Amino acid sequence: MFRRASKMLAALVLTAAATLVGATVGASPAYADGCYTWGRTLQQGASGEDVRQLQIRVAGYPGYNAQLAIDGVFGPATRSAVIRFQQAYGLAADGVAGPNTFNRIYALQDNDCTPVNFSYAELNKCNSNWSGGAVSAATARANALVSMWKLQALRHALGSQSIRVTSGFRSYSCNSAVGGASNSRHLYGDGVDLGAGPHTLCRLAQQARYHGFRQILGPGYPGHNDHTHVAAVGGWSAPSCGM
């Protein structure tokens, strides 16, 4: 907790310093941590691994009923997602990712690239190596990382109150043991079940529509009255929530 607070403070200090000296985007180095460091300003037309890494972090800001492609190409959809991210955190919303935007991302992530409020352990209570699902272990883990950044955006939109994860990645054996659907998105690493907490299941389902989840199943859908399920692929059904 102390490390996270220190990272946040450092990022805020550097952002304020850049503002005070009238720094332009790309004029000063951004604060970095142990995960990933961006070395250039990114804007529409750019491409590469640094763009893909940015897309992962802003995957939760695609807009209503939309999903951002994680393809390493900075197109109009990525620009819009960056703008929404910047707006959410009180930054100049110009759609250009420079030091201030990167500093905010650095403050939001841990050294393993997960957002500070979620972890790989939370997203995988099945096994230790992400194996045995419908995709390779590496793909399942990568899918879970994108889901975590979407959850971080959802959490922020809901007042930065905690979100309780009850289930994430499942191997076929884990999925069978809990009676999961044979085509469950949990097998792919991007399916996440959320339990009630500071927010009702319906509130979680309704807000999730804005944060890149194309599958949302909640109260009123068979077998989902005790949790809200979100994932990257599928449709929405939560009749008790008006969805």
Which residue has 């604060």 as its token pair?
Answer: 31
Asked whether the beta carbons of 230 and 208 are under 8 A apart, the reply is: yes
Decide if 163 contacts 151 (C-beta within 8 A).
yes
Reduce the DSSP state of residue 229 to 3 states and report it: strand
Which of 205, 201, 198, 136 lies closest to 169 in space, CA to CA?
A: 136
- The per-residue pLDDT for 23 is 36
Q: b/e map of 94-131 (b: 16 or more CB within 10 Å)?
A: ebbbbbbbbbbbbbbbbeebbbbbbebebbbebeeebe
pLDDT confidence of residue 33: 61
Sheet holding 228-231, edge to edge: 164-167, 192-195, 228-231, 215-217, 236-237
Round to whole Å and give the CA distance between 128 and 112.
16
Residue 15 is predicted with a pLDDT of: 41
pLDDT at 18: 38
What's the predicted TM-score (pTM) here? Answer: 0.87
pLDDT at 40: 96
Regions of the chain short of the pLDDT cut 70 = 1-33
Give residues with Cβ within 8 angstroms of 77, minimum separation 6.
Answer: 62, 66, 68, 69
pLDDT of residue 10: 45
Which residues are tagged catalytic?
Answer: 224
* Pairing state between β 228-231 and 215-217: antiparallel
Give the DSSP letter string of 104-158. HHHHHB-TTS-BTT--HHHH--S-SS--SSSS-HHHHHHHHHHHHHHHHHHHHHT
Give the whole-angstrom CA distance, residue 94 versus residue 85: 10
CB atoms within 10 A of CB 220: 17
Whole-number pLDDT of residue 34 = 79
